[in-house]
Amino acid sequence: MSLAMIVVAGFLLDRKKRMEETYDSLVMNFVKDHTVEYGRSFSPKQEILSYNGDLTISGKVDTRKIGNYELTYELTGEEEFYAQEVERTYTRIIPVEDHEPPRIELERDIVRAYTDGTYDLTDNILAVYDVVDGAIPEERITVDIDGDLNKPGSYTVTVKAIDNNGLISIADYQLVLRKPHRLGQNASYIYSVLTGEFVFNHATACGILANIKF
């Protein structure tokens, strides 16, 4: 091997070694693997603990759509002796998941009504919504009862809601049904209803009775 070839080979080996050393110095440390909650704010830099070199990030995470997203983190640095730019690329998979089911707000835990067909099972529902997407559409809400609205008894009303991502919430309330009473001239019965079921005091109940025409 000629002297020239030896010199060239030595040059190439030295440059390779220096380039590898520069490459190895381009280190990036990430946070421990985690998921991003649906609808929450997110920045790709949240994934980084530390890094060496100049950073370029490519890729996008849409937190309003569940799924897996790939981000590319590219570090660049210069090998000073030969003035050569070196690149090192890291990839990161970011899962977006929805763990929060819709919310169902009821006015009361126990509702009392009559078997006269006037009570609507939805009357006790204040709101059904998702914290990200807002109100749940009516077609994704069901309301069922484990009894007959025309018969007296204590029944369970079940409200079920499904959000855009398929998460389900269920809330129950008790419905106590009684037969409607004809008031007629039964002042004592009216008084017992006013003071018992409606929790009026004696004076208020008597005032109401005084205004009823028997």
Tens-level pLDDT at each residue, the chain (214 residues): 566 566 556 666 777 888 888 888 999 999 987 899 999 999 999 999 999 999 999 999 999 999 999 999 999 998 877 788 999 999 999 999 999 999 999 999 999 998 888 889 999 999 999 999 999 999 999 999 999 999 999 999 999 999 999 999 999 999 999 987 655 556 777 778 888 877 788 778 777 766 665 5
CA 21/CA 187 separation, integer angstroms: 99
CA 116/CA 185 separation, integer angstroms: 21
**Separation in Å, CA 143 to CA 124, 153, 166:** 11, 18, 17
Structural domain including 118 reads: 103-179
Indicate if 128 and 193 belong to the same structural domain. no
Mean pLDDT of the chain: 88
Given a contact cutoff of 8 angstroms between Cβ atoms, the answer to whether 158 and 170 are in contact is yes
Indicate if 161 and 135 belong to the same structural domain. yes
Indicate if 166 and 206 belong to the same structural domain. no
Indicate if 174 and 192 belong to the same structural domain. no
Indicate if 165 and 206 belong to the same structural domain. no
Q: Residue 47: in which H helix or E strand, if any?
A: none
CA 132/CA 165 separation, integer angstroms: 11
Q: Of 32, 64, 97, which residue is a domain's last? A: 97
Q: Where are the alpha helices (DSSP H) in 33-94?
A: none
Indicate if 27 and 55 belong to the same structural domain. yes
- Give me the sheet containing 103-106, strands edge to edge: 103-106, 125-130, 134-135
Q: What is the CATH number of the domain that holds 11?
A: 2.60.40.10
Strand partners, 168: 162
CA nearest to 69, candidates 53, 47, 99: 47
pTM above 0.75, yes or no: no
**What is the count of structural domains for the chain?**
3
CA 100/CA 22 separation, integer angstroms: 45
**Separation in Å, CA 49 to CA 30, 93, 151, 166, 186:** 5, 16, 65, 34, 79
